[in-house]
Structure 1
Amino acid sequence: MPNDLSDLLRAHGLQVTAQRLAVLRAVTARPHCTADEVAARVRAEIGTISRQAVYDALGALAANGLVRRIQPAGSPALYENRVGDNHHHLICRSCGKTVDVDCVVGAMPCLSPSDTAGYRIDEAEVIFWGLCPDCVVTQASPDRE
């Protein structure tokens, strides 16, 4: 297992660039972030970077298995560095907080469709929607207007 992010990039056949390193650090520091949030973190770290450069870096990292891109319905894509275990997500309908949840039953891909139509299934993406504990408390509070 590579010891640092530069080694990790090289191990996945990617050229090491300041932009890719900063993007990978940003996703590692704050899982389930949007590309705009990544861009803000990267700009704070290395200065100017174009939105396209952030998208290009995220695309390369996702294509090479270093980050995972999920796109909940009605929401922008989210990026995380927890990859390869086919975990799922809980998303709050009120505040948008997103957390990981391990597969409940069985091995990858956790779900078996009734008919694969000849596909070789290697991943299932499940998103559980509801209210996070903070929003449950807030919505139950009598002080709420």
Structure 2
Amino acid sequence: MPDDHDWRAALREKGYRLTPQRELILAAVDALGHATPDEVLAHVQQTASTVNASTVYRTLEVLEELGLIRHAHLSDRAPTYHSTRGHEHFHLVCRSCRAVISVDAAEAAPFVEVLRGKAFTPDLGHLTVFGRCAQCEGEAP
């Protein structure tokens, strides 16, 4: 996973400038865990009120192109972004309480092998499985 030096170098290598806004937006994604562009904007505007929505959207695209963040669709609304600095994971989303559970990609190994047997390699970082969590099903977690 990229450290601070790596992501700064990655920006420069691709011809992008290292701006305070980009640093703030990446820090917001790191701090929020899973966040929509609007949530990132609200977080960033707490310290830099001059950052606008178009800057957030453009920067999220650049950061994803560089592999520093990923997006997943955790609802039928805006994509949700998360840092790639942590472990590779996929998401379980409870349709009742909207809880998001991150699951290590290694736990999907049997499923991945079935797909590879069909000459297909899945992108687990974009995988979201909807259902009901144990608490909403009335079971102990």
Give the TM-score of the pair, scaled to structure 1.
0.73
Percent same amino acid among aligned pairs? 31
Larger RCO of the pair (alpha carbons < 8 Å, separation 6+): 2
Residue pairs, 1:60-99, within 5 angstroms: 60-72=62-74, 74-82=76-84, 86-99=88-101
Conserved 8 A contact 1:91-1:97: yes
What is aligned with 1:100?
A: 102
Equivalent in 111, 115, 121 of residue 112 of structure 1: 115
Moved more, 121-130 or 15-24: 121-130
Q: Does 1:51 align with 2:49?
A: no
**What is the CA–CA distance in structure 2 between the aligned matches of 1:10 and 1:43, rounded to whole Å?**
22
Residues 1:25 and 1:70: Cα distance change in structure 2 (over 3 Å): same
Residues 1:53 and 1:111: Cα distance change in structure 2 (over 3 Å): farther
CA RMSD of aligned residues (A): 2.9
Give the TM-score of the pair, scaled to structure 2.
0.75
Q: What displacement does 1:99 show?
A: 2.4
Q: What displacement does 1:76 show?
A: 1.8
> How many residues are treated as equivalent by the alignment?
131
Q: CA offsets, 1:96-120, max 9 Å, x none?
A: 222210122439x66615644xx7x
Residues 1:100 and 1:110: Cα distance change in structure 2 (over 3 Å): farther
**What is the CA–CA distance in structure 2 between the aligned matches of 1:23 and 1:134, rounded to whole Å?**
33
Q: What displacement does 1:127 show?
A: 1.7
Q: What displacement does 1:92 show?
A: 1.7
Structure 2: state its 5+ residue gaps.
Answer: none
Conserved 8 A contact 1:72-1:127: yes
Residues 1:105 and 1:134: Cα distance change in structure 2 (over 3 Å): closer
